[in-house]
Structures are given as C-alpha cells and as structure tokens.
Chain A
Amino acid sequence: MYTLSKTEKESLEKQARNVRKNVLRMIKAGRSGHVGGALSTADILTALYFNIMRVDPKNPKLRERDRFVLSAGHKCLALYGVLAEKGFFEKEILDTYGSLKSRLPGHPDMHKLPGVETNTGALGHGLSIAGGMAMGLRMDGLDSKVYVIMGDGELAEGSNWEAAAAASHHRLDNLLVFVDRNTLQISGPTVQVMSYEPLDKRWEAFGWSVKEINGHDMAQIVETVRSFPFEEGKPSVIIANTIKSKGISFAEGKVNFHYWRATPEEIATAEKDLEKVGE
C-alpha cells in the first residue's frame, strides 16, 4: 500500500493553499462566483494534479494522459486554480475572471483553455462523457485513467444513473468518481432537498466499488486513489466528505456561499484566512 510521506503531504497542502488563493484571486477579479463547491473540492483536485495524474502542462493533449472531468462544472474556479498552479496557463489569466470574453467562463470551456477536457455546467453530463473516454482509452490499449468530480446535489439528475449503469455494465475499471459530499446545495441541505441516501448502497447497487474518505485529508485522498481500481472489472467511487467553502472562516458550511457575491471586506478576511490555513 502506498503511504504519503510527511514531506509530500506538506507539499500537497501548500499546493492546495495556493489553489485556494487562486480561487480567491478570481473572485477578487470578478467579484462573484461559485466558491462553495470550488473550495470543497480544492484538496482533491490538488492531490489529483500534483500527485496522481499523468498530465503534462507542456503537452496538454498528450495521448497517454489521464483525463479529468469536472461533472459539477460550477466548481471550475478550483479547476482553473489548479491548472494555473500546475502551469497549464499564465496566472495573469486568473485576473480576467468575470471580464468580457475571459478565457475563464463561469463553467469550463475546453476550447478556451489548455487542460480543460470537457464543457460542463449543465449537471448530469460529466459521468457519461468520462465513461466514453474510459471506454475509448481501453479500446486503444492505453492504461490512462479517467477521474471525475461530481457534486452530491448533482446526483438527483437521472442521467448520472444511466451513466453509472453503463460504466459498470461495460466494466470500466479505469474510471474513478469522487462524489464531493459537501452536503449542501442552493436551496439547503442536499438530503432535505432531494435525498440521495443511502449513497454508498446506491453506487454499490449500480455495480460500483465504493470507499469513503475525508476529502480534506491529503494522505487519505492520495492513498485511497492509489489503491484504485478497488475491485477488478468494476468502476470505483470515492465518497469524499467535505466542507463547503473550506478555508474561508465565515463561509464554511454555509449554504448562502454556494454562489458568493463578495464584498471587499469579505475578500480581505478570506485572504487572511487562507494565510492561516497552512499554519
């Protein structure tokens, strides 16, 4: 079993802090955005791009690369933040967020930015696209993996369960899904808006191999992903328990920061918070 060293762990935590700072940098430029879900996934995305995935910022279309699909496209500030940190594009681009024709739309567009693999935003699309990628890579005899982040609120879309059924029917064990269970959606607690429980049993019933982790613990994230596929011949899903808006004190776990219209005072506080996170 792979064990994350203390040095690697600290390095990843530092990268995640930088990713969160990048998110804030975009909010500062554009004044508003889907910050809650971006910050709940920031640690997972950092672990994927800095420890797990075979990607090359110099050659973003590398045939043998691993693929990442952000099914919950509104969390894209974290994706932009991690791609910038990884060197897929100049960080100055982050300052264009919210401006006319910015290469950073409020939901990602693969034709605008290197490293973005799909156009998502409408929920319930990413998993089928990722499944098709996994299938195509396997047909080509490549060992590339496909990673997906889905929101927990997103799971109410029926199309996800079409994709879940097809992925297990076609035995796509090169496919790994994270459910970012931050437990909140626009209207309130997700299980109250439309329950997905029992979440693990649902995935299991669809033929997936399920693990549950703390989605902010770098060692757990990395070590769990490195044991994937959890079972041969089955797609894998990690239920990642997370905190919405993680890292910003006044917004953590609060439903009204799903989409944040930031005041200058709030931004100043958030900047201080993110300096503290690493201490």
Chain B
Amino acid sequence: MKKGELLDPRKTFGEALLEAGKRHENIVAISTDSSKGSGLTPFRENFPERHIEFGIMEQGAIGFASGLATTGKIPFIAAIAPFVTARPFEMFRNDLGYMRQNVKVVGRCAGLTYSDLGATHQSLDDIAIIRTIPGVTVVSPGDPKEIVGATLAIAEYEGPVYMKIGSPKMPVLFDEDYEFELDRGVLMRDGSDVTLIGTGTVLSKAAEAVDILEKQGIHARLINIHTIKPLDKKIIVRAAKETGRIVTVEEHYLKGGLGGSVAELLALEYPVPMKMIGVDDQFASNGPYEELLGLYGLQSDQIARTVRGFIGR
C-alpha cells in the first residue's frame, strides 16, 4: 500500500478479513445476500464452511450472529450500512449490545456512497443510532491502511463493534509504518489556528482542505477520529485548548455523528466555538457521488472556505 494510491475499501476489507480469519479460526463471515458486494469472496473461497448465507434477512442474521457468539464464534456481518443498523436496530441493541456479544457488524457503502440510489440506501444516521447502544464500539476508518488495521484490531477486541466503510476508491493517507490503535485519535498535522477533526470516507477531503489552508497562511491542526465511540477525549480537549476552534468533517448527519460526539464532549469539558460540516437534517439527494459531496459542502475547497469563514480570515 503506497501513500496516495487509490484502493477499493470493500476489497481492502475483504482481504483484511481473510487475514483475520487465518489468525482466528473462530471468525465466521455472515452474508445477507451481500457476500460479494461486501468483499467476502476471498474469505468464502478460503473458508467455505465458515461463511454463512442468510439471504435478505438482516434482523434474523444479527440474532443468529448473537447465538453463534455464545458458542465462542466471532461473527463478522457485512452488508449495506442502513440494512444492518437502522433496520435491525433493536436486534443490534438487545442481541449484541445488551447481551455484550463478540460480534462485528460492518456497514459498507455507508454515507452517500449509494449516491444514485437515493435515501433508502444511503446511511447518514448509522453512527448516531448505534452509538446510543451502551458498550458498542463504533469505528470509521479513514483510509485503506486503517481499514486493514481496524479489521484486524476489532477481530482481536472482545465485544460488539460497528465499523463503517464506503465504496468509492479512497487514497492511502498513512505511511507504511502506520499502526492502527483502536480508541486512539491520530494527530495527522499540527497547527495552532484551528482544528479540523475528520473521520472515515471524507478524512481525505479534510486533509486536502488543510493543505489548501496552509497555502493560504492558516495553520490548521488535523485530527483523525477513526474510533467515534469510545471517543479519544484527550486529543480533542487538548486541541480545543490549544487552537480555540473546532471544525468537524463527516459524511453523516450533523446530528449525532462525529460532530455531535465532539460537541457533547466539549460542551461539558472545554466549550469552544465549533462548526460542523456534514448533511443537515434532510433525506439527501441523489446524483454522482462527488457532486453529491459538493452539494453538502464536503469537497476540500468548500471545507477550506467554510473554515476561513468560521475563523474570520
């Protein structure tokens, strides 16, 4: 994986799951008519007896995963994000969260990925709803290296996890020697004028925005929050104290996502002026993915402009 290289997140996840499957013989992959599209093909080909198909049955599949986990299996369910979060929410809450089961749910094509297919297939509320469940870790990897790191890390970690990945190819942002640590925010660039906090599919847009700002003489700090729950409070509060202003960037609703998590934290611990960039309280429109990002101000030049307006420069 070379820095700058564009890679398919689903394929990357699938290869990482195969590696995790080699390390842990208890891992089973669960498909809800979503195997190939979720990148499960390499796992299925290598471990056919550990790949279980449920058809279009997300509520049932989560219950079965919970039952499998009681026997020591480590189920990974991968499917289109809204169908494993919004649809089976109560199964996620009770069968995985309340029962504290060692099950990993991977929502793929999250955010606006299904740009043309419209709001039923987009997932802009998954972080908001899943992070209300006590004890569920919520992970949103920001580049292909993090997808690999996160997949291996959640396989090791014992407990329920929701991980979201996109679908369009994403650039490798991290160096070869980068080591993913669950629950730990990453300082990607230091700066003192303002802090941008990005996550997941649009971390690269936030990173580009920081480059643009730098050229314009604004020294922005960039923090990557790949684990939204539990939140790395220390790195965020420190940024609030040292830069005085926070801008969050995410492919998610403004309510309840990364921005909401950061605001909840800072309101209590160290209030500073904040700006949130994302989709505001509406069923998103449809169209080409990059244009849709632009409709909600998530392109790097738009982010840079919003930041400049926010800090008055």
Contacts and interface: CB of A to CB of B under 8 A. Distances in A.
Interface in A124-162: 125, 127-137, 139-140, 159, 162
Interface in B94-137: 94-95, 98-100
A165 interface: yes
Contact of A135 (B64, B94, B95): B64
Interface string A82-95: 00000000000000
B67 A131 contact: yes
Contacts of A136: 67-73
A239 B28 CA distance: 33
B73 A128 contact: no
Main secondary structure of the interface of B (DSSP, over half): helix
Main secondary structure of the interface of A (DSSP, over half): helix
B228 interface: no
Contact of A166 (B64, B94, B98): B64
Contact of B71 (A125, A137, A166): A137
A117 interface: yes
Nearest to B64: A132
Interface in A80-114: 109-111
Contacts of A170: 52
A135 B63 contact: no
Nearest to A161: B60
Contacts, number: 96
B218 interface: no
A131 B69 CA distance: 11
A186 interface: no
Interface residues of B, number: 28
Interface in B15-74: 28, 49, 52, 54-55, 57, 59-73
A119 B94 contact: yes
A180 B68 CA distance: 25
A125 B95 contact: yes
A31 B67 CA distance: 34
A122 interface: yes
A132 B57 contact: no
Contacts of B73: 136, 139
A128 B60 contact: yes
A121 B55 CA distance: 26
B104 to A, nearest CB: 14
B105 to A, nearest CB: 14
Contact of A122 (B57, B66, B71, B90): B90
Contacts of A122: 90, 94
Nearest to A117: B70
B63 A131 contact: yes
Contacts of A67: 70
A135 B67 contact: yes
A129 B52 contact: no
B68 A132 contact: yes
Contact of A131 (B49, B64, B98, B99): B64
B236 interface: no
Contacts of B57: 162, 165-166
A166 B60 contact: yes
Contacts of B65: 132
A7 B52 CA distance: 46
Instruction: Select the residue from B28, B49, B71 with max chain A CB neighbours within 10 A.
Output: B71
Contact of A159 (B63, B70, B72): B63
A239 B64 CA distance: 23
A132 B63 contact: yes
Given A129-B66, A136-B68, A137-B71, A118 B60 contact: no
Contacts of B70: 67, 117-118, 129, 132-133, 136
Given A139-B73, A165-B57, A159 B67 contact: no
B100 A159 contact: no
Instruction: Select the residue from B70, B72, B91 with max chain A CB neighbours within 10 A.
Output: B70
A129 B63 contact: yes
A125 B91 contact: yes
A114 to B, nearest CB: 14
A166 B95 contact: no
12 contacts: A128-B61, A128-B91, A129-B66, A129-B67, A129-B70, A131-B60, A132-B70, A136-B67, A139-B71, A165-B57, A166-B61, A169-B55
